[in-house]
Amino acid sequence: MSRVYNFSTGPACLPECVLEEIRDEMLEYGTSGQSVMEMSHRSKVFEGILHETESTLREIMQIPDNYKVLFLQGGASQQFAAVPMNLMLNRVADYINTGNWTKKAIQEAKIFGKVNVVASSEDRTFSYIPDLTDLPYSEDADYVYICQNNTIYGTRYPELPDTKGRILVSDVSSMFVSEPLDVSRYGVIYAGVQKNAGPGGLVVSIIREDLIRDEVLPGTPTMLKWKTQADADSLYNTPNCWAIYVCGKVFKWIKNMGGLEVMKEKNEKKAGLFYDYLDNKSSLFKGTVEKGSRSLMNIPFVTGDADLDKAFIAECDKAGIVNIKGHRTVGGMRASIYNAMPYEGVVKLIEVMEKFEKEHA
């Protein structure tokens, strides 16, 4: 078997040791006589998996006791609607627009109330994080919304905005469990797990308990009420049992690696190597993001020639480097170097880039 270096934005690569452990438990989990994919979500065995997964996540993220952890379906995109349905009681919210995912969240929130875009980086194709000082927040805003790491454009907030006491909601999908976060600074954090923690089909929402309320917007479906899910410990209906199980394995892997501080160090080392090549060693390849706004997880880059970009992507495929093509709104290439991408994968990518540059100098 020959495994490739998978630079996909998500679903993305998983740690090989986790995949091996899953493989060994595929037919039978523990002594249950059944696969996790077969067992009842109401069984004691699965309840144990669910509780252990949550406990490990709480430990590695240091989640305060007054926050609920919910394992939900619908992906991060469904939270675009769930957030205003559960929080927009004044029918006003402030959003910072830094890319496609905030644009979609803004459009969804407009269904339910007034949305004020208090800052945006759309003027330069979302290649930077806008100035966060003294933003014109609405006095009656129910919350302030950000996407903290932008998968498509490769930007990451260098610091959190001062919301001046307003609830901060953050989509952290593409940086989830890649570095420490001070959970207490947020009202709501949510993340699709398919980038850093597991397979597609699951979103983890971390919500301060006082925001899980009986009062929500009229017409909110039962399934989209956070209180419904919190009161049932994420078991109101059949959850994505398989994804929860895999996430539990990944959370343990992170814990055994040394936790989120160590994970951040590893991610900084990988990203630093790649950015150094783009900035200081290559005359053909260039990054597209302003330096103060660069992501550790997603690095878009271009040659400046669409035909060369296409040729380079073909060379990568031959070399066992896959899913390197950039998003259509940016073009070029994009390397997503999530937790499970080994340092050697970045080294290999740079080797292919160096060879390609010599051949096309």
List pLDDT tens digits, range 240-277: 999 999 999 999 999 999 999 999 999 999 999 999 99
304 φ/ψ sector (left φ>0, alpha ψ -120 to 50, else beta)? left
pLDDT at 361: 73
* Residue 171 a catalytic site member: yes
The rounded percent of the chain whose pLDDT value lies above 70 is: 100
Token match 């956070």: residue? 226
pLDDT at 1: 62
The rounded percent of the chain whose pLDDT value lies above 90 is: 98
Which residues pair with residue 300 across a beta bridge?
Answer: 334
What integer is the mean pLDDT of 181-209?
97
Helix (H) or strand (E) holding 147: strand 144-147
List pLDDT tens digits, range 6-51: 999 999 999 999 999 999 999 999 999 999 999 999 999 999 999 9
CA 118 to chain centre: 23
Angle among Cα 48, 52, 53 to the nearest 5 degrees reads 115
Radius of gyration for the chain, computed over Cα atoms and rounded to the nearest angstrom: 21
Distance CA 318, CA 312 (A): 10
User: Residues 171, 270, 309, 325: which is the catalytic one?
Assistant: 171
Those residues whose C-beta lies under 8 Å from the C-beta of residue 303, and which sit 6 or more positions away, are: 284, 285, 286, 309, 312, 332
Q: Are 69 and 89 in contact (CB under 8 A)?
A: no
What integer is the mean pLDDT of 119-133?
96
* Residue 101 a catalytic site member: yes
Distance CA 18, CA 253 (A): 7
Three-state DSSP class for residue 67: strand
Q: Is the pLDDT of residue 350 over 70?
A: yes
* Residue 226 a catalytic site member: no
pLDDT at 162: 95
List pLDDT tens digits, range 308-343: 999 999 999 999 999 999 988 888 999 999 999 999
Distance CA 13, CA 213 (A): 37
Q: Are 99 and 152 in contact (CB under 8 A)?
A: yes
CA 227 to chain centre: 24
List pLDDT tens digits, range 85-116: 999 999 999 999 999 999 999 999 999 999 99
Residue ranges per domain, the chain?
Answer: 16-257, 259-359
Q: For the residues of 87-102, what is the DSSP string, one character each?
A: H-TTSEEEEEE-SHHH
User: Residues 101, 266, 270, 309: which is the catalytic one?
Assistant: 101
Number of residues that make up the chain: 361
User: Residues 68, 195, 225, 266: which is the catalytic one?
Assistant: 195
What are residue 125's phi and psi, to 5 degrees? 50, 40
| Average pLDDT in the chain | 97
**pTM, whole model, 2 decimals?**
0.96
State the pLDDT confidence band at 175, using cuts at 50, 70 and 90.
very high
CATH 3.90.1150.10 fits 259-359, yes or no: yes
- CA neighbor of 316 nearest in space, from 335, 291, 340: 335
Distance CA 349, CA 319 (A): 9
CATH number of the structural domain 16-257: 3.40.640.10
